[in-house]
A and B are shown apart, each in its own frame.
Chain A
């Protein structure tokens, strides 16, 4: 969090904001920035909007896939806790609640779709925080990001029962 404050961002977005707790917490701290959120699930968008209103902060919520309807190079901070659980591909593209977690092969199908777009999403000082689990093969993802000329730091690793979580900081 203090990392994000130091970056002095103007525009922050959370992709897949779900309940909205993360972007609401960011909005509460980052008074000098504008916060945005997207989710593919309309119920999640309403939940995010309600969470922000209850906490007296302003978050602009859009129901969309990733950031596909935003202009390019806008966001200084992008936060994404993606659906990363290893599942069948059908679950990733279905209509049900499974989209909240279903990541398809290696749990990476949505993650890969996102990373392909990432160079055009971030501003020149942009930073992306991405949450992964071990099954997503974080080292392969990091190597791919190096190939795309990004810098990558693993800013956090945590083992909780059944999951080994990683937070990557990705920047130009």
Chain B
């Protein structure tokens, strides 16, 4: 599971959970791999992300890459910055670990990079 995916996942569909976002990450195994860098794509998706969630998720697994708390102005023109965002979003994988609902504490296991978000009948 990449941090891009983490940025998109919530546990709000659980009974009794209001926002369920952001999920906490407990990373047991991380993997880094090279992905083709496409600066236009990264610039296009930054506005679709929750920036603060990305920065704190990256810090929580020790892969912050000095991302700033606040998004830089004119980041589209800053290739060096976009490269760092690219790395954090797409090149770091949580292979094994857990996602944890911030409200209920429900744990969602991640095995072989696949988060298990299946809920029991009594949880929805």
Contact = CB atoms under 8 A, between A and B. Distances in A.
Contact of B38 (A32, A36, A60, A61): A32
A45 B8 contact: no
A61 B9 contact: no
B117 A64 contact: yes
Interface in A1-57: 10-11, 31-34, 36, 40, 42, 45-46, 49
A71 interface: yes
Contact of A10 (B10, B41, B116): B41
Contacts of A58: 35, 90
Given A60-B2, A69-B9, A10 B44 contact: yes
Interface size class of A (residues with CB under 8 A): 20 to 34
B118 A10 contact: no
Contacts of B38: 31-32
Contacts of B112: 46, 49
Interface string B104-121: 000000001111111100
A62 interface: yes
Contacts of B13: 68-69
Given A10-B41, A10-B48, A32-B41, A61 B113 contact: yes
Given A46-B114, A62-B9, A62-B117, A34 B21 contact: no
Interface string A60-85: 11111100111100100000000000
A63 B114 contact: yes
Interface string B79-109: 0000000000010000000000000000000
Contacts of A70: 8-10
B1 interface: yes
B9 to A, nearest CB: 5
A74 B8 CA distance: 8
A48 to B, nearest CB: 9
A33 B5 CA distance: 13
Of the candidates B1, B8, B13, B117, the one having the most CB atoms from chain A within 10 angstroms of its own CB is B8
A62 B21 contact: no
Given A31-B36, A49-B113, A60 B118 contact: no
A71 B10 contact: yes
A62 B36 contact: no
B4 interface: yes
Nearest to B119: A65
A64 B116 CA distance: 7
A70 B20 CA distance: 11
Given A33-B41, A62-B1, A62-B115, 9 more contacts: A10-B41, A11-B48, A31-B36, A32-B40, A42-B116, A49-B114, A62-B117, A68-B117, A71-B8
